[in-house]
Amino acid sequence: MTMRNQAVGAYGERCAVRHLIEAGLRPVARNWRCPAGEIDIIAWDGPVLAFCEVKTRGTGEFGTPAEAVVPAKARRLRGLAARWLAETGTTADEVRFDVIAVRLGDAGAARVEHLKGAF
């Protein structure tokens, strides 16, 4: 991954966290890593624990941000969520997997779309 891509991704994650907080969610972890991969954001939405994958795109050249979450990525995130729950001892009556799609414009604020229960 290039430094530019890393910077774009980090900016997208900051936009996503700001959006979640403004929407009333309470982030509890960011960029949680283990040998199997990474979860971008974990946040409480009331009693629901949301595991969020953030995808940021500057152009539509490679499709929409949400289209980047392919079935294999969704499977891996489910496994990572189970591992996070086990390692932290966190319990939740309900978990949800969200995609936060961040679109960068030529100028102005990024557009953030929160797809709850995306997979």
Strand order in the sheet with 26-34: 26-34, 37-45, 48-57, 94-103, 111-115
Domain span at 7: 3-115
- Assign residue 24 the CATH number of its domain: 3.40.1350.10
Secondary structure of residue 78 in the 3-state scheme: helix
In tens digits, what is the pLDDT along the chain, a chain of 119 residues? 688 888 888 999 999 999 999 999 999 999 999 999 999 999 999 999 999 999 998 766 777 778 888 999 999 999 999 999 999 999 999 999 999 999 987 777 899 999 999 98
DSSP-derived 3-state class of residue 95? strand
Answer for the pair 100, 118: CB distance below 8 angstroms, yes or no.
no
Number of structural domains found in the chain: 1
